[in-house]
Structure 1
């Protein structure tokens, strides 16, 4: 029951494309997908997606104040080249945008809890990996990754107390990591189970913190002030993660698949020097370790056309919700298709994500307790994407 690649790789590609575009864990954007290494033959692929979040909430301190369209639209692109070599070896080069954030709160910072708060994170990564097949059933893969990040964060609004007006620029930083994994396959039924570990990557950002008026350390931390603008270096570790990709043919021209990702975000802390001293070691980001899962089915309708559908979820975390990611858990459904024409496959789809209700919190400067400041309910995101693959 070996399936034509139009019903296997093309459908898996459309599914992976939509899985990467919205509703991912924490700051994830691409899920660090490396399934290009499992494509048949030599393939070059280009993928593009656009996400339209609808994230709005209401300020608890002022019932008439609302935050409209806090999540900004964003795009995500990736490219890969995979080639077979001799003696069971193959290799791939993958370029993607693994992490990101585009958050901007409207409202007056003098009358709202979060008015004027923004967070922008941009990233890119280049991954070079190789695969060795011991036989038709077992293989291992490993590679190196070069990752580049930059970010700007502004804390604005009455909820931040003395931190109202604080901003930090984390200048572009590049650092290296690795990945390693293994796979089991039964080609006759298009079965594959592939597990991949992605290492944490530590960045040292050249940092500029700006505050008006200048920050003061609390008395219990020795007091003292900081200049209105402070340059320093901030170490930030992007999360280690595990990806499990499963698929199997269950009937002629029919494929089922599942993708599971776990990311350890609790070690991703952003504590620039002045902010850390003024808050007793707090982090600008507070993201729980979490997992997400999706399952789906693909069906080849003809030699040229195939379709797929999938559902998925991200588990809810605890109530420690950051204003820079005002959601808690996600559910989604996606549909897609692939059109195969000789050496070219065009695939794409659409995904609707229901974002979990959340009440973002900040730490009260007097009591030290986390206090909910706003409520975000009934939000969603729509993602569209397409990919073009050329086999040579």
Structure 2
């Protein structure tokens, strides 16, 4: 006879909760694995790995439609949890990549995002991540077939960032006065295309979790609510570098671009000689113009969130599963990166995020069980950027157990992103649209009980 309470309670809820990163919107990646707090073994460890492929790309940029590829990169989420304890109390230590994002805009016209104003810098690529190390404990009281638990703990979170923006640097002020005057009379500029790279980081900052749970093992009922506090990283500093992406050139008054030797030939017709040594001294593509420049960012906020999940048995070997998450993404306004006084801006101005899911878990026999769920994420984009629109997901997974101390879980997810638009009138630095796109994900984990 199948012990459906034991099989279902130990399998399907954790599978569903494992897909929270794909349904949490914004920069959410992974969440601490607190489900192992309810395992009966004295010691439990779980190692997990998730792969996500969000295929989001622009359909049009500043009114021009085209095939611009995807700017969202694939990513991997490792996680680890180790729990010690018993029915009365337990604690779990976790490591997970909590928040992260990356964007590569090199397929857009000019190899980067459009400039926010003529001559401004243009974001080519950016990437950041926050790793979380945490400890969460459960203190429980059981009576009349019910168990009440209080949850609480601390976490530490770091922050790292790397980004590159493109711009043109005016070299006119470095020229002899006669050449400056000659270029000025023609309405021309001597420019060199440059890439400004920034690498910044912030130390670990501390936050907390607090929550409660209620269980009735007889019907495989468990309901949990867990709050995660906000963390502000206000000391993000590092260094930057400046390098030439190609040779210096001259931009004429009509906007045409000519090589420096061509411009020198034009000036020679007016009796102005440009020394060969000066031409040879101009920056060439690939040359490093400056290193070790001071870099910093504005405050980055990891938002507070409230997560509720529940399960209950509805038939032998069958569970009804549900979850809800609120995340305070409205704290995410804009990322401003400054290197040696030059700033680039990535606006967001998000709404709060709400996500929900409902599903079923089924124990097929003593060794195999699984789950399937559908989910909805409200999306957080407001028109300043348009990556995180409404998302609908379908996910499922299997649990394989050969005994009471080992379990392997595998699963997959497909998500459907709705279309959207961003505009300068809503705070964007350029106008753009995205179509209906897809997200794909796969997950695997192994759990050992002792």
State whether TM-score is above 0.5. yes
> How has the CA–CA distance of structure 1 residues 245 and 143 changed in structure 2, closer, same or farther, with 3 Å as cutoff?
same
C-alpha displacement at 1:291, in angstroms?
Answer: 1.0
Q: Secondary structure at the match of 1:30?
A: coil
Q: Secondary structure at the match of 2:351?
A: coil
Which among 107, 122, 125 is matched to residue 129 of structure 2? 122
CA contact (8 A) 2:26 2:388 kept: no
Residue 160 of structure 2 is matched in structure 1 by 150
Residue 80 of structure 1 is matched in structure 2 by 81
- Equivalent-residue separation in structure 2 for 1:111 and 1:340 (angstroms): 50
Which among 428, 431, 434 is matched to residue 373 of structure 1? 431
The range that moved more, 107-116 or 173-182, is: 107-116
The range that moved more, 60-69 or 24-33, is: 60-69
TM-score normalised by L of structure 2: 0.72
CA contact (8 A) 1:113 1:157 kept: no
Report Cα offsets for 1:132-166 as digits up to 9, x if no partner. 102232110100101122112345599xxxxx966
1:358 equivalent in alignment to 2:420: yes
> How has the CA–CA distance of structure 1 residues 108 and 334 changed in structure 2, closer, same or farther, with 3 Å as cutoff?
closer
Residue 217 of structure 1 is matched in structure 2 by none
Residue 181 of structure 2 is matched in structure 1 by none
C-alpha displacement at 1:172, in angstroms?
Answer: 4.4
C-alpha displacement at 1:64, in angstroms?
Answer: 5.1
- Equivalent-residue separation in structure 1 for 2:227 and 2:371 (angstroms): 27
Report Cα offsets for 1:156-188 as digits up to 9, x if no partner. 599xxxxx9665433243111111001111111
Q: Secondary structure at the match of 2:72?
A: coil
**Structure 1: unaligned runs, 5 residues or longer:** 159-163, 214-226
- 1:58-97 to structure 2, matched below 5 A, reads 58-61=59-62, 63=64, 65-85=66-86, 88-97=88-97
Which among 184, 203, 209 is matched to residue 179 of structure 1? 209
Residue 244 of structure 1 is matched in structure 2 by 308
- Equivalent-residue separation in structure 2 for 1:48 and 1:2 (angstroms): 29
C-alpha displacement at 1:110, in angstroms?
Answer: 3.5
> How has the CA–CA distance of structure 1 residues 148 and 371 changed in structure 2, closer, same or farther, with 3 Å as cutoff?
closer
Residue 15 of structure 1 is matched in structure 2 by 16
C-alpha displacement at 1:23, in angstroms?
Answer: 4.0
- Equivalent-residue separation in structure 1 for 2:421 and 2:368 (angstroms): 44
The range that moved more, 147-156 or 245-254, is: 147-156
- 1:1-392 to structure 2, matched below 5 A, reads 3-20=4-21, 22-41=22-41, 42-61=43-62, 63=64, 65-85=66-86, 88-107=88-107, 110=110, 113-114=113-114, 117-135=124-142, 136-155=146-165, 168-203=198-233, 204-208=235-239, 229-232=293-296, 234-269=298-333, 271-272=335-336, 274=338, 284-317=347-380, 319-322=382-385, 326-342=387-403, 343-362=405-424, 370=428, 373-392=431-450
Report Cα offsets for 1:76-120 as digits up to 9, x if no partner. 11111122247x111111111111112112335548754863221
- Equivalent-residue separation in structure 1 for 2:205 and 2:112 (angstroms): 38
Q: Secondary structure at the match of 2:62?
A: coil
C-alpha displacement at 1:294, in angstroms?
Answer: 0.8
What count of residue pairs does the alignment treat as equivalent? 364
Runs of 4+ in 1 over 6 A off after TM superposition: 209-213
> How has the CA–CA distance of structure 1 residues 24 and 2 changed in structure 2, closer, same or farther, with 3 Å as cutoff?
same
Report Cα offsets for 1:290-325 as digits up to 9, x if no partner. 111111100101011112100001014453242xx6
Q: Secondary structure at the match of 1:320?
A: coil
**Structure 2: unaligned runs, 5 residues or longer:** 115-121, 169-193, 245-289
Q: Report the aligned-residue RMSD.
A: 3.2
CA contact (8 A) 1:313 1:331 kept: yes
Q: Secondary structure at the match of 2:155?
A: strand
> How has the CA–CA distance of structure 1 residues 18 and 377 changed in structure 2, closer, same or farther, with 3 Å as cutoff?
same
C-alpha displacement at 1:337, in angstroms?
Answer: 0.8
CA contact (8 A) 2:138 2:150 kept: yes
Q: Secondary structure at the match of 1:25?
A: coil
CA contact (8 A) 2:209 2:229 kept: yes
